[in-house]
């Protein structure tokens, strides 16, 4: 409904002076949208639902499948037969990208194109504002993290066709490892360093017992030859007691040897520490791409990731160009709606609440550990916290009961790890699977203060954990001891 | 998103030539909306869902509760606390009307005002196009038929303050009768005429055994004095075997005596016959208002009615002015969305399908009656059909079992009427309640071919009825006979 | 999806142990719904959106229009042709009530019936919990306040057929007065008392200059005779500087003379003071019904009201029985969803926030008045506040410009009242219209701290008002003075 | 709301006998869902929207993010911060698959797991029913066709680690070719055969001028060695005048040499001919996987594909196992809702309508060609039709104007191909790009009768094409000639 429509006509339906206030409001709304499209920056304050839907709907109406009179004789015309499906996609149907490039504009879908590009711009703006100001490229990819890492590896490999190896700092999360295999490359597993002298609550980097084995990385590079190495792959956010990899030193190493460097920053945007490490690494070393999930960092349904990079290397563009064919626009739309609803202030509030929850969780864990004769395992990990379970381990070995007792009480996401397990993936055997390090020998449980957690979640968890540990001791352990 | 927004900005987000086709589409869409607001006539073809929602949403954004920056310090600010509720009302919150008049514009709600006025215009256009071209006023009222009749009576009474009586042609539907009582007026019940000589299938007016007792109306007017009579109240659409009242002759009578004439046209818009009768009555006689439900005539949820009238009397305006305070806009919105989605063609298709279903139902009933030794009761009723159940009536009297057997088979809306019942409402006793006439003595069942009925409904019903009648005879009746 | 469905089948689709936690959650959910249906009390905590929609959808599926296989041959089958309309009504179509009674169960619509009855129960529970524990009946009516007052008067009149008058304590809000006229009754206007000696901030009842003219009520009763009086009609919540009527004393007066007593508690549920007055009046005197809007008290779209009463009189039941025919279920559904989403805690938070906003608004007004040489007009009004504008009144008389200047700044709901106006409604002339009292002579503006107001609304308003008053003085008033 | 809830409680809210019919309906609904979950076959008739949403919502409530009381301390808890996003995903948040396998069950998401598995079963059932009864595996993948082909190649390669080549029957659609490159494999391009003697309308296989160059395939296998070949990749549905590849003969060739065979059946499910070819090929030869888009074959938004296979090879399982990490559940949900809304009958109606539209388009094209002195290019293509433009080609060469003139008239999807173009992708040059064959020398335009096309689309297109061709001749061509 443009100005002409309203101004010239509605007088007979409503007095003009009543309309003029409404027109002012409409102008204000249009101005905000104009500003968004011009500056492509995250608004400071979140938008209301009607405002978001207004903007989204207008964009969707720019796609050819929504043109009032049209005549489609192609093989792909964005027809959606089920109304429920059409509605939930806000009348978007064409997806994003073209056969040539994931970020190319679609002739039939101007609205989808704007939507996707706008989303990418807002995401880049967000990343810059929360600690990585040098970030120059960021795109939302309709693939979860594992597939995105895989395709990033392939994009890098396409420019290093003779390389074969990925130097991978072990992290016991299957999909990251499988990404390397799925890319058709050979993983070289670099086990974490584990220093014995660790004291409780020494949570700074220097004292963390877990560390990236930098010298092993260096020696592997020498052994295999830099040109055979497709890239280094490390991880920031992970389950405690594993620490974030030392991405700054790895960045320097990669720069020194001219080896691409990929960082799995899975849910690391929610921690300013990880963001600053990435920023630092890009300045003093080399990072070709860092990858993070949209679900964990932006609280949308699972299915998307963000590939981001810095201006000196063009891996993000290479990724987009490698992507064969079209892709779902759903993840971009979810991210766009979420970012508009939060605004920068909203996201910063989420970050703060998470930080407070983490502090509360750490304090609670520390007290609980003291009560039960255990300790919080020190590590450079700003999201996940691990508490030892040494005194709960018995010959009868029912440590996993703790996990299932918690689950029955509605606790999800708490992992109980015994060091006894090993796991083989596609011929590669990992000792002490779950502990990220072959030499780990301390059983433990972990919990995370991840984005979106509520203070009451922390309080409930601590209360339930205390109860479970007491019951476990009574029920499954030798009373005499 | 106005032209300026799009044209100047989006180039960096999408190639200009892709946008130009989208802009053409947008212009086409805006042109349709402009046309609608200018002409306020029902579009020929129905609109698509995205188009309807686009138009509705734009209107809602003209209401002050949706202004981006606002500061409300009144007692009624259109605040909606529950998002689910807000969403289902498309962000409309202010209702319609003002304290002074149901059709007055609201300063805070230009969008709601346009919405309601537009709906009224489209409804009037529809009424004119389907057989009542002289209709000059029509408003959608957020009251069901009973309450609307009641308020119409009050609006008429407010101009005939000394009158007390409503001359009412008996129809056995409680809420119509109660409308008179609720209005604080005294009903004078004029029983239907029932001529004995009725032959099967003589469905034209002259042969219908049920007839409006015109002479009784005339004699009551003489008896009570025209000035004591608030109005005459008659009914078109009703359950067979009652016929539509003879609104043409009643109109003449009212005109002759200067008595207001109100017609309950409950679901009569769906029959061109009833529409033509009203049109005829307005030309040769007098009709002050005719009232019909929105649910039955426009297939929306229960809750609204249309009060319509002709230019020579101003009862519709009086109704609007009498209405104290604001009212729900939900019914207007339902009607608007429905009319836009149907278009004139869509509504005419519905009318045709109903007509065909009626013919099929009549044919089926006639055959069934023949098989079971019964007959279709003749009447001037173009929606409902009644079949006698004389041979099913026994001394044990379980005729109502037929209804419940049908219900168990998923048949709803089929009424089984025995003439044995009487009913007392507020001191008024009706003999043979359900038969619309004290002298009725034929038990029967009725079924309707009402708007929205599907051919398969008719077929299923006839099959199930046949089955039920056979089973009933076997089970509940004397086998020997 | 009942237990049998899930338990027996899904094993092949998902491991059984994963399902068992889900089943626990399902059981918990069902238990909450069972509790709600059994106890029919407002839950303490609000429900989540998915939970609310789950419950609502299940209820809707109990209505015959949603039965998978059905065959409808009635004239009203709940058919909804437009999908958009169907969806926004959550598949409800049959409305509520029957021709006999607004609260009667509908055979075709078990779900709608439960929905409406449940809503009434929850509303009654809410009313009881916030200060009127004796409330025994409460029903949500799909009519806005004005129409509801009108129908309440008719319900009372139906039992006092020979009465004609409504003794009405003047309040300058048109729809309340029009309710009496629309009901066909004769209003006897009792002007407010206005005592001259009023000091700033004397907000308790004894010092309020506005008061219900109790002696005039008494003398009118004597003059006209109790039996000619249909009822007394007074008002609690209203625009300052009018005070709430003295419902306690009026209640005693009515009890003494056997006259029905109706209170327009328009938006009074949001103030504990008004609630307590009603409770008190019902104990020491007589209240037949008190009426309040759903939009202002429960923050739903305009269109509904609550008629409530106490056990000694049965006006609420009489109201329901008088209501002719069916009615919209939309208002009940809005209220149900809103109450479930808020829970008792949510509503109490709203009440507290409102109270705080009121205190803040009063403080701000007081300071502003001091700055501008004006005063806050004292009254027994816990929602609306009035500030005098004596020094802004000039011979050129452009006081209304203040209102329009505020409006241009996005302020809505602020009323500027000059005492110069008079208004005639249906032959009745009101001096100083807007001031609720013929003798009022102080120009003023009012603002309300009504339910749902945000602290920033108050702050914004005060800032803008200050700015406007300064500009007004500069622009429209004699600078020399 | 289980049986217990309803049966025991609601009596006080609604009469028991009204509920019993509703309970019957509920039982019927639950029975249909039970049947669906038990048999996992596409229902014969489509389900209503309320029924689909009921089923979907119940499944979503089985996921842990929707449990009423829960306490999440993991890093991924399915939190969705933006209500608009949550709603459009029907409260699903966890995606599908686990790190180990795309089809693995998720402990936290029993509902998502059932939803995804059920969708896969229904899709397999559909594929079997429309012409490929031997299909044993089919999964919906949240990747568009190009990425799915790429990952299929990688899955096959993971079991043939030393192979390098993909023998690819040329089809000029970029994303298919790019899939091979993105997979890190080397394409061997086998140009189409183009026999000169082709006569108009000889649309059967034997006479089509375009043919798969089987002997070139055979000689390449011999030249490179079967073990170096990762797989053969051919295409069924494509733009005319290219024909579908001879998948039956390719299947035999692959079987003979033990080479995997992948078929890009992009939008081939909508043609029974292509389906039967695949079925035939699987019986007489070898097909490891055939891939098709969900948007074109099932009319959902772009973003998904179906990987399907036969029981003798396990490529579909390998694909699922290779997939690293979790994935979006959106595509599965779209497909599930669409299939339930259509039912088998609905899908078969779509197929029939498409077939009729194809016949109509072919007839129209044939007539138009005759009028304009051109011919329909014969080919084995049951969806797309090409008409020569020989007489429109001029030295000035503005053939592309035809396309843009059509576009301006709202025609989308009509391709105008001049044989003059060549294109280089990643170092591979294609002569006569767009014509699928280096030796092609006939300019032409194509249009498709694809699933979802309406009869009026065909009629409109033919009329507009005729108009455009006439105008083009007048405007751009030498009149004298």
pLDDT score for C200 = 39
Pairs of residues, one from chain A and one from chain C, whose beta carbons lie less than 8 Å apart: 5
D33 with C5: Cβ contact below 8 A: yes
Stronger pLDDT, C258 or A420, i.e. the higher one: C258
| Residue A20, min C-alpha distance to chain D (Å) | 30
| Mean pLDDT score, A177-189 | 96
The stretches of A79-213 forming alpha helices (DSSP H) are: 83-88, 110-129, 145-157, 174-182
> Residue A335's closest CA among A308, A295, A290, A275?
A295
Query: Residue C478's pLDDT band (boundaries 50, 70, 90)?
Result: low
pLDDT score for D17 = 85
D448 is in an annotated binding site: no
Q: Locate the chain D residue with the closest alpha carbon to B409.
A: D21
Q: Please enumerate in sequence order all residues whose Cβ is within 8 A of that of D214, keeping only pairs 6 or more positions apart, or say none.
A: D246, D249, D250, D253
For D296, other C-beta atoms within 10 Å of its C-beta total 27
A328 with D304: Cβ contact below 8 A: yes
The stretches of B98-246 forming alpha helices (DSSP H) are: 110-129, 145-157, 174-182, 214-224
pLDDT score for A9 = 61
For C394, other C-beta atoms within 10 Å of its C-beta total 12
- Residue A359 main-chain phi, psi, to 5 deg: -60, -40
Q: Locate the chain A residue with the closest alpha carbon to C28.
A: A410
Contact of A287 with chain D, judged by CB distance below 8 Å, is answered with no
Contact of C21 with chain A, judged by CB distance below 8 Å, is answered with yes
Query: For residue D408, which residues of chain B lie inside 8 Å, CB to CB?
Result: 21
Give contacts of A 362-401 with D, CB under 8 A. Answer: 383-384
Contact of D83 with chain B, judged by CB distance below 8 Å, is answered with yes
Query: For residue B411, which residues of chain D lie inside 8 Å, CB to CB?
Result: none
Say how many residues make up chain C. 481
pLDDT score for A198 = 45
- Residue C137 main-chain phi, psi, to 5 deg: -135, 140
- Only one residue has tokens 């009101």, namely C430
pLDDT score for B476 = 83
> Residue B192's closest CA among B448, B461, B431, B471?
B431
- The three-state secondary structure class of B384 is strand
D99 is in an annotated binding site: yes
Query: For residue C21, which residues of chain A lie inside 8 Å, CB to CB?
Result: 407-408
Q: Locate the chain C residue with the closest alpha carbon to D90.
A: C50
Q: How far, in Å, are A143, D277, D289, D294, D322 from residue D148 at the CA level? A: 12, 21, 11, 12, 12
pLDDT score for D20 = 87
B409 with C71: Cβ contact below 8 A: yes
Copy the structure tokens of residue C206.
């004894």
Which tens digits make up the pLDDT trace of B62-119?
999 999 888 999 999 999 999 999 999 999 999 999 877 899 999 999 999 999 999 9
Q: In what order do the strands lie in the sheet with C444-448?
A: C384-388, C444-448, C415-417
Q: Please enumerate in sequence order all residues whose Cβ is within 8 A of that of B259, keeping only pairs 6 or more positions apart, or say none.
A: B167, B221, B226, B229, B231, B232, B253
pLDDT score for B478 = 63
Q: How far apart are CA B426 and CA A179, in angstroms?
A: 80
> Residue B195's closest CA among B370, B418, B444, B437?
B437
A69 with D175: Cβ contact below 8 A: no
Which tens digits make up the pLDDT trace of A141-176?
999 999 999 999 999 999 999 999 999 999 999 999
> Of C64, C300, C412, which is closest to B80 when you measure between CB atoms?
C300
- Please determine, for residue B43, whether its predicted confidence score (pLDDT) is greater than 90: yes
Query: Residue D93's pLDDT band (boundaries 50, 70, 90)?
Result: very high
Q: Locate the chain D residue with the closest alpha carbon to C48.
A: D68
Which tens digits make up the pLDDT trace of D138-181?
999 999 999 999 999 999 999 999 999 999 999 999 999 999 99
| Mean pLDDT score, C263-267 | 97
- Residue A376 main-chain phi, psi, to 5 deg: -75, 130
Binding residues of A: 76, 98-99, 106, 283, 326, 409
Contact of D407 with chain B, judged by CB distance below 8 Å, is answered with yes
Stronger pLDDT, A414 or A421, i.e. the higher one: A414
Copy the structure tokens of residue B188.
């004078």
- Please determine, for residue C435, whether its predicted confidence score (pLDDT) is greater than 90: no
What interhelical angle do A214-224 and A247-257 show, nearest 10? 20
| Mean pLDDT score, A63-70 | 91
| Mean pLDDT score, D415-432 | 88
pLDDT score for D205 = 40
- Only one residue has tokens 């680690």, namely D161
Which tens digits make up the pLDDT trace of D10-58?
677 888 888 888 888 888 999 999 999 999 999 999 999 999 999 999 9
- The three-state secondary structure class of A156 is helix
Pairs of residues, one from chain B and one from chain D, whose beta carbons lie less than 8 Å apart: 5
Q: What is the DSSP string of B440-466?
A: ----EEEEE--TT--HHHHHHHHHHHH
Q: How far apart are CA B38 and CA B57, in angstroms?
A: 18
Which tens digits make up the pLDDT trace of B386-399?
999 999 987 666 88
Query: For residue A408, which residues of chain C lie inside 8 Å, CB to CB?
Result: 21
Select from B182, B301, B382 the residue whose CB has the most chain C CBs within 10 Å, as the one to mutate to test that interface: B301
Contact of A407 with chain C, judged by CB distance below 8 Å, is answered with yes
- C-contacting chains (≥3 CB pairs under 8 Å): A, B, D
Which tens digits make up the pLDDT trace of A335-352?
999 999 999 999 999 999
Select from B14, B33, B39, B341 the residue whose CB has the most chain A CBs within 10 Å, as the one to mutate to test that interface: B14
Give yes or no for a contact between B103 and B320, defined as CB atoms under 8 angstroms apart.
yes
Query: For residue B408, which residues of chain D lie inside 8 Å, CB to CB?
Result: 21
Query: For residue A83, which residues of chain C lie inside 8 Å, CB to CB?
Result: 83
Contact of C83 with chain A, judged by CB distance below 8 Å, is answered with yes
Q: Please enumerate in sequence order all residues whose Cβ is within 8 A of that of B458, keeping only pairs 6 or more positions apart, or say none.
A: B357, B360, B361, B364, B449, C73
Q: What DSSP character marks residue B162?
A: T
C407 with A21: Cβ contact below 8 A: yes
Residue A241: asked if its preceding bond is cis (omega within 30°), the reply is yes
Which tens digits make up the pLDDT trace of D96-131?
998 778 999 999 999 999 999 999 999 999 999 999
> Of D21, D30, D111, which is closest to C5 when you measure between CB atoms?
D30
> Residue C316's closest CA among C306, C328, C331, C324?
C306
pLDDT score for D200 = 39
Q: Locate the chain A residue with the closest alpha carbon to D293.
A: A76
pLDDT score for B420 = 75
D95 with A295: Cβ contact below 8 A: yes
Stronger pLDDT, B219 or D437, i.e. the higher one: B219
Query: Residue A7's pLDDT band (boundaries 50, 70, 90)?
Result: low
Copy the structure tokens of residue C167.
């003794």
- Only one residue has tokens 């008239």, namely D409
- Please determine, for residue B199, whether its predicted confidence score (pLDDT) is greater than 80: no
Contact of C329 with chain B, judged by CB distance below 8 Å, is answered with yes
Give yes or no for a contact between D52 and D337, defined as CB atoms under 8 angstroms apart.
yes
- Please determine, for residue D86, whether its predicted confidence score (pLDDT) is greater than 80: yes
Give yes or no for a contact between A113 and A96, defined as CB atoms under 8 angstroms apart.
yes
Contact of C50 with chain B, judged by CB distance below 8 Å, is answered with no
> Of A175, A239, A383, which is closest to D324 when you measure between CB atoms?
A175
Q: What DSSP character marks residue C63?
A: B
Binding residues of A for substrate: 98-99, 106, 326
Select from C19, C21, C86, C414 the residue whose CB has the most chain A CBs within 10 Å, as the one to mutate to test that interface: C21
Q: What DSSP character marks residue A288?
A: S
- A-contacting chains (≥3 CB pairs under 8 Å): B, C, D
- Only one residue has tokens 């038929």, namely B145
Is the confidence metric ipTM above 0.90 for this complex?
yes
Q: How far apart are CA D331 and CA D144, in angstroms?
A: 10
pLDDT score for D150 = 97
Copy the structure tokens of residue B35.
């046309």
Copy the structure tokens of residue D85.
């996003």
- Please determine, for residue D273, whether its predicted confidence score (pLDDT) is greater than 70: yes
Contact of B320 with chain C, judged by CB distance below 8 Å, is answered with no
First to last CA, chain B: 78
Percent of chain A clearing pLDDT 90 (strictly above): 78
Say how many residues make up chain B. 481
| Residue B427, min C-alpha distance to chain D (Å) | 27
Q: How far apart are CA A449 and CA C386, in angstroms?
A: 50
Binding residues of C for pyridoxal 5'-phosphate: 76
Contact of D48 with chain B, judged by CB distance below 8 Å, is answered with no
> Residue A47's closest CA among B262, D83, B250?
D83
Give yes or no for a contact between B198 and B208, defined as CB atoms under 8 angstroms apart.
yes
pLDDT score for A439 = 85
- Please determine, for residue D394, whether its predicted confidence score (pLDDT) is greater than 50: yes
What domains can you pick out in chain D, each with its CATH number?
3-95 (1.10.10.2160), 110-342 (3.40.640.10), 347-478 (3.90.1150.10)
pLDDT score for B243 = 93
Which tens digits make up the pLDDT trace of C162-197?
999 999 999 999 999 999 999 999 999 999 888 764
Give yes or no for a contact between B311 and B136, defined as CB atoms under 8 angstroms apart.
yes
Bridge partners of A210, per DSSP, are: A194
What b/e string do you get for B427-464 counting C-beta neighbours within 10 Å, with b at 16 or more? eeebebbbbbbbebebbbbbbbbbbbbeeebbebbbeb
Give yes or no for a contact between C93 and C80, defined as CB atoms under 8 angstroms apart.
yes
Query: For residue D76, which residues of chain A lie inside 8 Å, CB to CB?
Result: 267, 293, 295-296, 302, 413, 450
> Residue C65's closest CA among C112, C1, C98?
C112
pLDDT score for A481 = 45
Query: For residue A407, which residues of chain C lie inside 8 Å, CB to CB?
Result: 21
> Residue C142's closest CA among B302, B175, B266?
B302
Q: Mean pLDDT, chain C, as a whole number?
A: 92
- Please determine, for residue B209, whether its predicted confidence score (pLDDT) is greater than 90: no
Stronger pLDDT, A311 or B283, i.e. the higher one: B283
C147 with B323: Cβ contact below 8 A: yes
Query: For residue D109, which residues of chain C lie inside 8 Å, CB to CB?
Result: 18
For C244, other C-beta atoms within 10 Å of its C-beta total 27
Q: What is the DSSP string of C291-311?
A: EEEHHHHH---SS-EEEEEET
Which tens digits make up the pLDDT trace of C319-337?
999 999 999 999 999 999 9
Contact of D424 with chain C, judged by CB distance below 8 Å, is answered with no
- Please determine, for residue A203, whether its predicted confidence score (pLDDT) is greater than 50: no
Query: For residue C105, which residues of chain D lie inside 8 Å, CB to CB?
Result: 14-15, 18
Q: What is the DSSP string of C125-181?
A: HHHHHTT-TTEEEEEEESS-HHHHHHHHHHHHHTTSTT--EEEEE--S-HHHHHHHH
- Please determine, for residue A329, whether its predicted confidence score (pLDDT) is greater than 50: yes
Query: For residue C408, which residues of chain A lie inside 8 Å, CB to CB?
Result: 21
Contact of B83 with chain D, judged by CB distance below 8 Å, is answered with yes
D18 with C91: Cβ contact below 8 A: no
């Amino acid at each position: 409904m443009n100005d002409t429509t309203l101004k010239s006509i509605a007088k007979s339906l409503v007095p003009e002076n009543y309309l003029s206030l409404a027109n002012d409001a409409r102008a204000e709304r249009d101005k905000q949208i104009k500003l968004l499209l011009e500056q492509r920056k995250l608004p400071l304050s979140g938008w209301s639902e009607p405002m978001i839907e207004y903007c989204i709907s207008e964009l969707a109406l720019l796609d050819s499948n929504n043109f009032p009179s049209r005549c489609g004789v192609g093989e792909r015309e964005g027809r959606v037969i089920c109304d429920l499906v059409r509605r939930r996609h806000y009348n978007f149907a064409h997806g994003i990208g073209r056969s040539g490039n994931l970020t190319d504009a679609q002739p039939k879908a101007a609205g989808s194109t704007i939507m996707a590009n706008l989303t990418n711009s807002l995401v880049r703006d967000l990343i810059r504002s929360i600690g990585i100001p040098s970030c120059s490229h960021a795109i939302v990819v309709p693939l979860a993290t594992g597939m995105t890492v895989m395709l990033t590896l392939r994009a890098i490999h396409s420019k290093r066709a003779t390389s074969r190896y990925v130097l991978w700092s072990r992290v016991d999360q299957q999909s990251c490892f499988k990404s390397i295999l799925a890319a058709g490359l050979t993983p070289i597993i670099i086990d974490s360093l584990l220093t014995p002298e660790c004291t409780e609550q020494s949570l700074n980097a220097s004292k963390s017992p877990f560390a990236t084995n930098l010298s092993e990385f260096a020696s592997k590079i020498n052994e295999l030859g830099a040109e055979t190495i497709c890239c280094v792959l490390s991880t920031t956010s992970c389950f405690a007691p594993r620490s974030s990899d030392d991405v700054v030193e790895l960045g320097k190493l990669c720069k020194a040897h001219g080896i691409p460097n990929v960082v799995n920053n899975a849910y690391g945007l929610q921690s300013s520490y990880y963001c600053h490490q990435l920023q630092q690494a890009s300045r003093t070393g080399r990072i070709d791409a860092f990858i993070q999930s949209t679900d964990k960092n932006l609280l949308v349904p699972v299915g998307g990731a963000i590939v981001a990079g810095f201006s000196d290397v063009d891996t993000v563009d290479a990724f987009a160009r490698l992507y064969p064919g079209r892709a779902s626009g759903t993840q971009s739309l979810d991210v766009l709606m979420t970012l508009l609803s939060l605004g920068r202030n909203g996201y910063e509030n989420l970050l703060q609440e998470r930080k407070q929850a983490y502090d509360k969780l750490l304090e609670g864990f520390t007290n609980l550990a003291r009560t039960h004769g255990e300790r919080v395992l020190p590590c450079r990990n700003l999201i996940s916290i691990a508490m030892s379970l040494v005194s709960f381990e018995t010959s009868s070995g029912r440590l996993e009961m703790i996990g299932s007792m918690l689950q029955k009480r509605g606790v999800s996401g708490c992992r109980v790890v015994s060091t006894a397990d090993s796991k083989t993936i596609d011929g590669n055997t990992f000792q002490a699977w779950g502990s990220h390090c072959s030499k780990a020998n301390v059983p433990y449980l972990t919990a995370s203060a991840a984005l979106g957690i509520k203070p009451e979640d922390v309080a409930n968890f601590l209360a339930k954990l205390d109860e479970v540990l007491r019951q476990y001791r009574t029920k499954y352990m030798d009373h005499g001891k």
